[in-house]
Amino acid sequence: MKHIIIGTAGHVDHGKTSLIRALTHIETDRLKEEQQRGISIEIGFAYFDLPSGRRAGIIDVPGHERFIKNMLAGISGVDLALLVVAADEGVMPQTTEHLNILSLLQIRQGLVVVTKTDLVDQEWLELVTEEITESLQGTFLAQSAIYPVSVVTGEGLPQLVAAIDALTQESLPKDTTAPLRLPVDRAFTVAGFGTVVTGTLISGAIAVGDRVELLPRGIAARVRTIQVHGEKVGEAYAGQRTAINLAGIDLAEVQRGDVLAAPGFLHSTMMLDVRVQLLAGAPHPLAQRTRVRLYSGAAEVMARLVPLEEEEILPGESGLAQLRLEAPLAVAAGDILIFRSYSPMVTIAGGRVIDAAPRKKTRFRTEQVAELLLREQGDPLEQGEQIIANLSPELYEKQAVLQQLQHLPHWDELVEELLVQERAVVFQADNKEYLVASSWLEKTSSTVRNALTAYHQANPLRLGVPREELRSRLLKQGSSRLFLALLLYWESEGWLLLRDNMVALAGFTIQLSPSQERLLQEIRTLYTTNPFAPPSYSDLGEKLSSSASWRELFNLLLAQGELVKLSEDIYLSRSSVALAEQHLRIYCEEHREVTLGAFRDLLNTSRKYALPLLEYFDNERLTQRRGEARILRGF
């Protein structure tokens, strides 16, 4: 079923609230101050049933210039706009500003309603209608019919309802299959239930029991109950005004402008790459670091604007820009933005998000501008590949990457095509999926290959680079397990080799000179001649100090597992440790436990070697301490 949201717009005291009351029999002015002053301060909500049987939600927005930000919090997400003009006053400043906002939000459907017709005669009404027609030229309402009504006499209301019903049949349905997204425009508590948030579902669906995430702070919550138009429901869908009772979250943690979303679907950002369209009537150009008020959904944040193509964006023109935000936002590529000047507060521009997770950009960089133009205007397949490539260095989860693609047509088919063409690759690690571009993967693999080549040349007696050292040098983002997944992928391609925690180029072997072979054998002999009392590391250094490569050869035996480290200075051969374990097991099976002294005598060694060897067995979970003795685990 198609769900419709209607939004009103127009100057203060032009009868928007009265019109909604006449259509729905619902009072949208909830605040005592609103009812006393006769003007709307906060956004209000109502609904009514159309002749076709569809139920339409309707949003009443404030008309006063002081409450434009409240108007913006409610008007995003509407399908159809009613521009309201009072017959006794005609077009006024907020009529024009609201019309600009509707146009900048790229709302494509709407009707014009002339209210208070009972206060004027026919001649005046015709003059006002002519004025309205002229002011609508060049806007999306230019071809709209104008409906004169009176809420006092009821004149024109049936015709208006019929026109709304006809127009709603043409509106496109919202995507109920996409991930959940609801900008929060109101939050309050209900005794016995806790925190409730309201908003218009702009995509997806939400059901009782769902796990959700509140952004930009990333707070997890659970859906306890749902209401649509005051009625409890088990599920709500895109296009519906919805009230959601959340468990696991306090009212103090929620504010207008937050976004309720499927977990992992959105991420907060402090920068945006955008296309900005400055209104022709804007008082000033947008120059470097102009401070603006930015509106997205129900959120308002301050931002600094950095033009990327020219020194400034002139009135009536558009340009690419990067926004440096003063507070985090949760937005997606393709989202519509509204800009108001810092002071005086007037609507000056609209925009569309091109990249919701950009890197910091420098002005006048041709390659950066070309990249953004491709993101904005290029072939969808190329756009998708570039978006994935830009996100790849951050190693975002697959779902977060997909979210950045959903403004593209047939984005799900596009991703499948990129995977089939091997222009993108999916990895699994940490029980999560990661989507990266093949171009980034090839570049990264080349970097890793070059790093390994350089390492082997500088360290010819080492088996390879410690895996974590390589990750910290080349790929700081992502987990060790994700990096391991990348290494396993490259190993499957045949050019890389994993040896426990070491990484090497496939085919790399250590080549020893005859003198190095003799020295290696000498070190082996020193550790096997007296298996439980070999030279300490410091003694070995004194004994072999004349040989320049003894440390590299010692580390080679350690890396190959021929030597076992017991402490910083004590090492034994692997065969000696195995023999000591055999003696220990036989002794404990007969005596149940072994003391340090007994173990020392058993191996005919000293405390210097016996104690670190027992501690090694403790760490290996072969033994455990019981008082002054040790027993075999599980014995």
pLDDT digits 0-9 by tens, 136-155:
998 889 988 999 999 999 99
Shared-domain flag, residues 142 and 191: no
Q: What is the pLDDT of residues 444-455, one digit of tens each?
A: 999 999 999 999
Q: Worst-scoring range by mean pLDDT, 372-386, 468-482, 524-538?
A: 468-482
Q: How far apart are CA 83 and CA 102, in angstroms?
A: 9
Shared-domain flag, residues 191 and 256: yes
Q: What is the secondary structure of 93-148 as a DSSP string?
A: HHHHHHHHHHHHTT---EEEEEE-GGGS-HHHHHHHHHHHHHHTTTSTTTT--EEE
Shared-domain flag, residues 501 and 539: no
Query: 132-140: which pairs have CB atoms within 8 A and are 24 or more residues apart?
Result: 132/85, 132/90, 132/91, 135/91, 135/95, 135/96, 135/99, 136/99, 136/112, 139/99, 139/103, 140/102, 140/103, 140/107, 140/108, 140/109, 140/110
pLDDT score, position 423 = 94
Handedness of CA 532, 535, 537, 540 (dihedral sign): negative
2 — pLDDT class (breaks 50, 70, 90)? low
Element of type H or E holding 485: helix 480-492
pLDDT score, position 430 = 66
For the residues 305-332, what does the mean pLDDT come to?
93
- Helix, strand, coil proportions of the chain in percent (round to 5)? 35, 30, 35
Tokens of 14: 């032009």
64 — pLDDT class (breaks 50, 70, 90)? very low
Inform me whether the pLDDT recorded for 635 exceeds 90: no
Q: How far apart are CA 448 and CA 454, in angstroms?
A: 10
The phi, psi pair for 34, rounded to 5°, reads -65, -45
Inform me whether the pLDDT recorded for 495 exceeds 80: yes
Q: What is the pLDDT of residues 550-561, one digit of tens each?
A: 888 888 888 888
Domain-ending residue, one of 246, 261, 276: 261
Residue 398 inside a domain? The answer is no
pLDDT score, position 409 = 79
Q: How far apart are CA 474 and CA 480, in angstroms?
A: 12
Shared-domain flag, residues 143 and 197: no
264 — pLDDT class (breaks 50, 70, 90)? confident
Q: Is 570 helix (H, G, I), strand (E, B) or coil?
A: coil
Residue 356: name the closest of 281, 286, 436, 274 by CA: 274
Query: 618-623: which pairs have CB atoms within 8 A and are 24 or more residues apart?
Result: 622/581, 622/584, 623/584
8 Å CB contact between 321 and 308: yes
Shared-domain flag, residues 23 and 121: yes
| Boundaries of domain holding 314 | 268-370
Domain-ending residue, one of 227, 261, 295: 261
Q: How far apart are CA 445 and CA 442, in angstroms?
A: 5
Residue 584: name the closest of 532, 627, 533 by CA: 532
Q: What is the pTM of this model?
A: 0.69
Inform me whether the pLDDT recorded for 279 exceeds 80: yes
Q: What is the pLDDT of residues 80-99, one digit of tens each?
A: 889 999 999 999 888 888 88
30 — pLDDT class (breaks 50, 70, 90)? low
pLDDT score, position 72 = 59
Tokens of 68: 């434009």
For the residues 168-174, what does the mean pLDDT come to?
75
Q: What is the pLDDT of residues 559-596, one digit of tens each?
A: 888 899 999 999 999 999 999 999 999 999 899 999 99
Q: What CATH number has the domain bearing residue 327?
A: 2.40.30.10
Residue 620 inside a domain? The answer is yes
Residue 382 inside a domain? The answer is no
Residue 433 inside a domain? The answer is no
**DSSP secondary structure code for residue 221 in this structure:** E
Tokens of 72: 């913006």
Residues 6+ positions from 285 with CB-CB distance below 8 Å: 278, 312, 313, 314, 315
8 Å CB contact between 55 and 47: yes
Tokens of 416: 């499948």
Q: How far apart are CA 623 and CA 635, in angstroms?
A: 9
Tokens of 19: 């019109």
606 — pLDDT class (breaks 50, 70, 90)? very high
8 Å CB contact between 537 and 496: no
Shared-domain flag, residues 242 and 278: no
pLDDT score, position 42 = 55
pLDDT score, position 480 = 79
8 Å CB contact between 225 and 195: no
Shared-domain flag, residues 276 and 319: yes
Tokens of 570: 């004590």
Shared-domain flag, residues 273 and 256: no
Shared-domain flag, residues 103 and 225: no
Shared-domain flag, residues 13 and 133: yes
Tokens of 400: 């977060």
Tally of domains within the chain: 5
Instruction: Catalogue the E-assigned strands of 421-562.
Output: 424-429, 432-437, 465-466, 496-499, 502-505
**DSSP secondary structure code for residue 327 in this structure:** E
pLDDT score, position 31 = 42
Q: What CATH number has the domain bearing residue 141?
A: 3.40.50.300
Q: How far apart are CA 339 and CA 105, in angstroms?
A: 11
8 Å CB contact between 84 and 9: yes
For the residues 163-173, what does the mean pLDDT come to?
82
Describe the strand order of the beta sheet including 629-632 as a list of residue ranges. 594-595, 629-632, 623-626
Q: Provide, rounded to the nearest whole percent, the portion of the chain with pLDDT above 70.
A: 93
Residue 322: name the closest of 343, 292, 300, 282 by CA: 292
Residue 55: name the closest of 170, 172, 164, 184 by CA: 164
Element of type H or E holding 551: helix 550-559
Inform me whether the pLDDT recorded for 54 exceeds 50: yes
Shared-domain flag, residues 339 and 475: no
Residue 298: name the closest of 484, 510, 580, 73 by CA: 73
36 — pLDDT class (breaks 50, 70, 90)? very low
37 — pLDDT class (breaks 50, 70, 90)? very low
CA 313 to chain centre: 29
Residue 461 inside a domain? The answer is yes
8 Å CB contact between 312 and 288: yes
pLDDT score, position 405 = 84
Q: How many residues comprise the chain?
A: 635
Shared-domain flag, residues 332 and 448: no
Inform me whether the pLDDT recorded for 477 exceeds 70: no
Residue 125 inside a domain? The answer is yes
Residue 180: name the closest of 353, 332, 334, 391 by CA: 332
50: left (phi over 0), alpha (psi -120 to 50) or beta: beta
Inform me whether the pLDDT recorded for 175 exceeds 70: yes
Q: Provide, rounded to the nearest whole percent, the portion of the chain with pLDDT above 90.
A: 43
Inform me whether the pLDDT recorded for 35 exceeds 70: no
Q: What CATH number has the domain bearing residue 459?
A: 1.10.10.10
69 — pLDDT class (breaks 50, 70, 90)? low
Residue 605 inside a domain? The answer is yes
Instruction: With both helix axes pointing from N to C terminus, report the angle between 550-559 and 514-529 in degrees, rounded to the nearest 10.
Output: 60
Q: How far apart are CA 144 and CA 538, in angstroms?
A: 92
pLDDT score, position 29 = 53
517 — pLDDT class (breaks 50, 70, 90)? confident
Tokens of 344: 């005086």
Domain-ending residue, one of 138, 168, 198: 168
Q: How far apart are CA 52 and CA 57, in angstroms?
A: 15
Tokens of 270: 């402090």
Handedness of CA 328, 333, 336, 338 (dihedral sign): positive
Q: Measured over all CA atoms, what is the biggest interatomic distance in the chain, rounded to whole angstroms?
A: 119
For the residues 284-299, what does the mean pLDDT come to?
91
pLDDT score, position 32 = 46
Q: What is the pLDDT of residues 199-245, one digit of tens each?
A: 888 888 999 999 999 999 999 999 999 998 888 999 998 888 899 99
Tokens of 375: 């993101």
pLDDT top residue among 367 and 3: 367
Q: Is 49 helix (H, G, I), strand (E, B) or coil?
A: strand
For the residues 40-68, what does the mean pLDDT come to?
69
Residue 397 inside a domain? The answer is no
